[in-house]
Structure 1
Amino acid sequence: MHLQLINAISYFIHLEEEEKEWISSRFIIKKYKKNDYFLREGQVCREVGFIQSGLVRYCSIRENGEDLTLDFNKEMEFTCNYASFLDHSPSTSGIQCLESSTILCISWNDLQELYTHVREGQKFGRLVCEFLYVQAIRKVNSLYNNGPEQRYLQFLNQYAEIASRVPQYYISSYVGIKPPSLSRIRKRLAE
């Protein structure tokens, strides 16, 4: 049941058999229905999840009620509001399941123990943080430097395998435009 998780961690670090068993014992299997929340906006994020199956979106509701889509995670990816998780502050965004999802979860305390129990645990934590930092910088640069069509093409490039699984209004929100504008871009690109 935890083979995908072990493979994902092994992408970053080498794991001994005993470490694989120890890690598997710390990740708890949780099942979510479509539209359930892994994390609600305003809650403190107390666990990191590894998506075994399913799809989630990071979302936030503006004061005017507008529902924003900030990002996505799919199978074989970790999900968490890392800022909330690290400093125990209320989350500024929610994580909603767009499909029925199976997520393997580890608590903050168990993750701290992983860093010390697994020989390369600290290295794993550092490499994941570096990976997330680079992703965040690229996204911010794209928002400031690219137009909507370029951001849509980047979405298709980064999330090609989930584009058909995500409602168009979430994609348009992620790209930063209204649904009719996304329809025009898609039509223009199809010509």
Structure 2
Amino acid sequence: MHDLVIAAIGRLIELNEEEKIFIKTIFKEKSVKKEEFFLREGVVCREVGFIIKGMVRYYINKGGEEKIYGFGKEGDFVCNNESFLSRQPSSKNIQYIEDGVLLMLSYDNLQLFYKKVRGGERFGRLIGEYLFVEALRQITSLYTDSAEERYLNFLQLYPGLQQRIPQYFISSFVGVKPQSLSRIRKRLSIN
């Protein structure tokens, strides 16, 4: 199981055997159930997760309506970086949409990772840069893309996952009502 997180880290930085062993000691396994929360708004995010099995959704509550802005799947890291890094309560929610297994890394263990792994800080910088670019892309899409273009973006970002994610979650991500998503799918002839 730890080999998956080691492989993910190893795609960005080189790891020696000692560092791989160290990584296995700082990531702790956790099983979760569908609808449990990785993080609720109002709580400080204290861990980063690596999804071995299952999926999560990222959302905010706006006037009692859930607005989904992302999903996480196997092989993805999951975290609310805004809360995790600032040590401030989260304004966002992260919820499991399937039963799953994660490897969890505490804030303190991440700091150890940065110190003890030669490319640890570089890894953190690369992940931060990736998240920054993705956030800008998502913001730009909200202002410039049609609902149809946002649906096509969803298909590109999450290939093959439309069968695992409830349609009303996808419609929230796209920013339309479920009936409108059905019309978009019909127009595009995508099932």
Secondary structure (helix, strand or coil) at the match of 1:29 reads strand
Partner residue, 1:41 = 41
Structure 1 CA distance, aligned partners of 2:57 and 2:149?
21
Secondary structure (helix, strand or coil) at the match of 1:165 reads coil
Cα shift readout 1:18-66 (whole Å, capped 9, x = no counterpart): 0001011000101110111111111100000000110000012222x11
Secondary structure (helix, strand or coil) at the match of 1:106 reads strand
Structure 2 CA distance, aligned partners of 1:60 and 1:129?
21
| Runs of 5+ unmatched residues, structure 2 | none
Opposite residue 112 of structure 1, the aligned amino acid is Q
Partner residue, 1:128 = 127
Structure 2 CA distance, aligned partners of 1:125 and 1:157?
25
Cα shift readout 1:5-29 (whole Å, capped 9, x = no counterpart): 0000001100000000101100010
Structure 2 CA distance, aligned partners of 1:177 and 1:89?
31
Partner residue, 1:61 = 61
Partner residue, 1:13 = 13
Q: How many residues align?
A: 190
Partner residue, 1:52 = 52
Q: Cα offset for 1:91?
A: 0.7
Partner residue, 1:95 = 94
Partner residue, 1:184 = 183
Partner residue, 1:153 = 152
Q: Cα offset for 1:92?
A: 1.1
Where in structure 1 do 4 or more consecutive aligned residues deviate above 6 Å? none
Secondary structure (helix, strand or coil) at the match of 2:11 reads helix
Q: Cα offset for 1:157?
A: 1.1
Structure 2 CA distance, aligned partners of 1:135 and 1:47?
21
Q: Percent identity?
A: 51
Structure 2 CA distance, aligned partners of 1:161 and 1:92?
29
Structure 1 CA distance, aligned partners of 2:160 and 2:4?
18
Partner residue, 1:82 = 81
| Runs of 5+ unmatched residues, structure 1 | none
Opposite residue 57 of structure 2, the aligned amino acid is R
Partner residue, 1:139 = 138
- State the TM-score, normalized to the length of structure 2: 0.97
Cα shift readout 1:150-178 (whole Å, capped 9, x = no counterpart): 00011011111211100000000001111
